[in-house]
Amino acid sequence: MGNPAKTLERQRSFKNAVLELRALTADDLEAVNGTILDHMQSSVKMIPEVAGHLINAGGKRLRPVLTIAAARSFGYDGRQHINLAAAVELIHGATLLHDDVVDESALRRGLETANIIWGNKESVLVGDFLFSRSFELMVKTGSLKVLDILSAASCTIAEGEVLQLATQKNTAATFEMYLDVVKAKTAALFAAATQAGAVIAGASETEEKAFYEYGLNFGIAYQLVDDALDYAGSQTDLGKSVGDDFREGKMTLPVVHAISAARNDEERAFWQRTIADVDQKDSDLPRALDLMQRDNIIPRTLDCAREFADAALASLRTLPRSNYTSALADLVDLSVARNS
Amino acid sequence: MGNPAKTLERQRSFKNAVLELRALTADDLEAVNGTILDHMQSSVKMIPEVAGHLINAGGKRLRPVLTIAAARSFGYDGRQHINLAAAVELIHGATLLHDDVVDESALRRGLETANIIWGNKESVLVGDFLFSRSFELMVKTGSLKVLDILSAASCTIAEGEVLQLATQKNTAATFEMYLDVVKAKTAALFAAATQAGAVIAGASETEEKAFYEYGLNFGIAYQLVDDALDYAGSQTDLGKSVGDDFREGKMTLPVVHAISAARNDEERAFWQRTIADVDQKDSDLPRALDLMQRDNIIPRTLDCAREFADAALASLRTLPRSNYTSALADLVDLSVARNS
């Protein structure tokens, strides 16, 4: 990640891949934004204020784009993928509001979080509201199967969040434990977004399954890159500080790798103190970064992400080819080379 | 409420009404409890611990009993009312977990709350889990109409909670504002519970509407009595302390009445200081109780509850008579005379 020219090129490429997919789905995405805006409204005026702060804060709309692309890749020309994509983004928004309360985060996408501006109580309740609204939207699709997929995914997300709470600060956490958290808290919604998009378009069971696998593996790859960037990105790119996960004592894959690569008791004690006890001083983050550089931790994490990205691409290749599947392939390919 | 013998008689009567309804629905209620238990399970072991603490803490299961009775009153002999009733109780459980975080409550039904034992983060996330599970159960009923009713009710509950947050400590809150909060945060789920029970049983639109009205008006009456008892009940009966609402600066109907009955600026300043500023000393609760007694506030609140109870009974009389509707009538009738 050291070559600035190469880094810039990678960044451009991922941004282009997202832009390509957004251009391909531009009309649908505009309709989704309108639907989201409609469903944030309430006579209780604090609700659209809090929800609007989050929803308008410049998210990539990655999950609804996945739903739209999956549905459109089968030539779907109905309108229910709009409600569905909006529902997926509202679930995501609800979990972000609750996440920021649970993580005590102060910054998201470069802006102060809702829990800081309005308070934890407001974030919990407006999250509940958005979550309920997302189910209202799913009901509008008229598909019980879609409701089944997304309610199961919502359960899995909550389980993943609780599991993360239980493994946080646990320096004995293994790669498998970490992967369980990532699958549940991030990849489950990616998988449900693409699978439900295929379902609403009337895809076959095999195609539906392939889109589920695509979403799940892409979601894992995406989160692994995110976790790597927390130790390697720059603040401007991420809209959050480098080392946020470190400061919170989060057991992410770079830390799992770094601990297993520790060469002596002193190094193991360093990770125990900084991650498990979250007892840190200013020189600790630079030292963590040094140790990670010495043991090649970030490239190893990105290699791991690459494996899941390859699995996502393999699933995609079993599906009917279209502009949409090409764009979805580019997205995966370039996401593992992104730096923001 | 001053005559101990009369109070005891009233208490027995309400308990009998609940027992009568529970006896009438005993087999169904056992099936509901089994379904709830199944749907609390998770490989993440903290989830059934936290959920079990709340769900097994001896709630009255009032809402699922309403759903069962509504469905059975039409002679329904299917099984989907079980999933539906369990879903209703899980929504209620999820809102209680989030409520206790928002209200910073320490005691519920005489036990320490989950947020005190496990923490706020855990309560938020396990609430999300139970909420998601409730939607999984609704999907199992196969009825999009039921899903529509309950997702709309969930939105309304969240709106009511946010509205309560906005009106809390606001001594200018009117009867109408207070009623809006009660309708949304309590009565909406009672109404959805009875309406959805009727829908699953294949009731006509008129019958469905009548059960909605029954639930809504009973829910309002029930909450008004609850709020009155917070200033008039005894700690043993309620499983919470008398004056909890007062100490939290909650604008409930007794306080709305008491403020409008204040005779001079000093009394208005008293309510402003104790409720709006929540700046209280030991002698404040006794004084609040004295002022309420002088101005007949508790009987006035209970009279108001009686009006909503009468509206609930009127709706019930338009429905086909059965053991279930008789028991539902007794329940309403005696709930406005309860002291716990």
- Angstrom distance (rounded) from CA A198 to CA A220: 20
Least confidently predicted of A43-47, A311-315, B28-32, B127-131: A43-47
DSSP B320: P
- Tell me the pLDDT tens digit for each residue of B15-52: 777 788 888 899 999 999 999 999 999 988 888 988 88
CB contact A154 to B (< 8 Å): yes
Could B154 and A98 be called an inter-chain contact, meaning their C-beta atoms sit closer than 8 Å?
A: no
User: Could you tell me how many CB contacts below 8 A there are between chain A and chain B?
Assistant: 132
The token pair at A236 is 């401007």
Q: Which residues of A touch B155 (CB under 8 A)?
A: 129, 132-133, 136
- E-strand spans in B83-221? 107-108, 111-112
pLDDT band at A9 (very low <50, low <70, confident <90, very high): low
| pLDDT, position B166 | 83
Could B151 and A161 be called an inter-chain contact, meaning their C-beta atoms sit closer than 8 Å?
A: no
Task: Return the closest-CA partner of residue B256 out of B276, B242, B241.
Answer: B276
| pLDDT, position B232 | 84
| H or E element at residue B330 | helix B323-335
Least confidently predicted of A8-17, B94-103, B155-164, B261-270: A8-17
Tally: H helices and E strands in chain B:
18, 2
Q: Which site among A91, A123, A132 would you substitute to test the B interface, given the most B Cβ atoms closer than 10 Å to its Cβ?
A: A132
Q: Which residues of B touch A148 (CB under 8 A)?
A: 136, 139
Q: Are strands B107-108 and A111-112 parallel, antiparallel or unpaired?
A: unpaired
- Tell me the pLDDT tens digit for each residue of A29-67: 999 999 999 999 998 888 898 888 877 776 789 999 999
- Angstrom distance (rounded) from CA B170 to CA B275: 8
| pLDDT, position A10 | 56
- Angstrom distance (rounded) from CA A154 to CA A234: 32
Task: Return the closest-CA partner of residue A140 out of A93, A82, A62, A191.
Answer: A82
Return the residue of B nearest to A163 by Cα: B44
Q: Are strands B107-108 and B111-112 parallel, antiparallel or unpaired?
A: antiparallel
- How many CB atoms are located within 10 Å of the residue A267 CB? 16
CB contact B98 to A (< 8 Å): yes
The domain defined by B10-335 folds into Farnesyl Diphosphate Synthase (1.10.600)
Could A122 and B162 be called an inter-chain contact, meaning their C-beta atoms sit closer than 8 Å?
A: yes
Cβ atoms of A302 and A311 closer than 8 Å? no
Q: Is the pLDDT of residue B4 over 90?
A: no
- Tell me the pLDDT tens digit for each residue of A217-259: 999 999 999 999 889 865 444 445 688 889 888 889 999 999 9
pLDDT band at B275 (very low <50, low <70, confident <90, very high): very high
The C-alpha torsion from B304 through B308 and B311 to B312, rounded to 10°, is -150
- CA A250 from chain center: how many Å? 16
- In chain A the first and final C-alpha atoms are separated, in Å, by 12
Percent of chain B with pLDDT over 70: 92
Pick the more confident residue, B71 or A56.
B71
| Mean pLDDT in residue range B151-172 | 90
Calculate how close chain B gets to A139, using CA atoms only, in Å.
Answer: 6
Calculate how close chain B gets to A56, using CA atoms only, in Å.
Answer: 20
- Tell me the pLDDT tens digit for each residue of B201-227: 999 999 999 999 999 999 999 999 989
Nearest by CB: A129 against B42, B120, B155: B155
B322: three-class secondary structure by DSSP: coil
Scan residues 219-278 of B and list those with Cβ closer than 8 Å to A: none
Cβ atoms of B139 and A151 closer than 8 Å? yes
- How many CB atoms are located within 10 Å of the residue B307 CB? 14
Q: Which residues of A touch B163 (CB under 8 A)?
A: 44
Pick the more confident residue, A56 or B8.
A56
Could B158 and A126 be called an inter-chain contact, meaning their C-beta atoms sit closer than 8 Å?
A: yes
CATH number for the segment(s) A4-324: 1.10.600.10
Sign of CA dihedral B248, B167, B213, B202: negative
Q: Is the pLDDT of residue B320 over 90?
A: yes
| pLDDT, position A114 | 81
B126: three-class secondary structure by DSSP: helix
CA angle B142-B145-B150, nearest 5°? 100
pLDDT band at B238 (very low <50, low <70, confident <90, very high): very low
| Mean pLDDT in residue range B284-313 | 95
| pLDDT, position A79 | 96
Task: Return the closest-CA partner of residue A42 out of A136, A158, A145, A143.
Answer: A136
What is the 3 state secondary structure string of chain A? CCCHHHHHHHHHHHHHHHHHHHHHCHHHHHHHHHHHHHHHCCCCCHHHHHHHHHHCCCCCCHHHHHHHHHHHCCCCCCCHHHHHHHHHHHHHHHHHHHHHHHHCCCEECCEECHHHHCCHHHHHHHHHHHHHHHHHHHHHHCCHHHHHHHHHHHHHHHHHHHHHHHHCCCCCCCHHHHHHHHHHHHHHHHHHHHHHHHHHCCCCHHHHHHHHHHHHHHHHHHHHHHHHHCCCCCHHHHCCCCCHHHHCCCCCHHHHHHHHCCCCHHHHHHHHHHHHCCCCCCCHHHHHHHHHHHCCHHHHHHHHHHHHHHHHHHHHHCCCCCHHHHHHHHHHHHHCCCCC
The token pair at B146 is 């039921």
Calculate how close chain B gets to A248, using CA atoms only, in Å.
Answer: 15
- Tell me the pLDDT tens digit for each residue of A263-280: 999 999 999 999 999 999
Residues facing residue A107 across a β-bridge: A112
3-state helix, strand, coil in chain B (%, to 5): 75, 0, 25
DSSP B22-35: HHHTHHHHHHHHHH
Phi-psi region of B243 (alpha: psi -120 to 50; beta: other; left: phi over 0): left
Could B125 and A158 be called an inter-chain contact, meaning their C-beta atoms sit closer than 8 Å?
A: yes
Task: Return the closest-CA partner of residue B284 out of B242, B247, B240, B255.
Answer: B247
CB contact A124 to B (< 8 Å): yes
Residues making up chain A, counted from first to last: 340
The C-alpha torsion from B147 through B149 and B150 to B156, rounded to 10°, is 140
Q: Which residues of B touch A131 (CB under 8 A)?
A: 128, 131, 154
- E-strand spans in chain B? 107-108, 111-112
Return the residue of A nearest to B154 by Cα: A132
| pLDDT, position A4 | 47
- Considering chain A, what is the average pLDDT of its residues? 89
Q: Which residues of B touch A139 (CB under 8 A)?
A: 144, 147-148, 151
Q: Is the pLDDT of residue B59 over 80?
A: no
- CA B264 from chain center: how many Å? 35
Nearest by CB: B125 against A133, A139, A161: A161
| pLDDT, position A170 | 81
Percent of chain A with pLDDT over 90: 67
Q: Which residues of B touch A95 (CB under 8 A)?
A: 128
- Angstrom distance (rounded) from CA A273 to CA B20: 59
- Considering chain B, what is the average pLDDT of its residues? 89
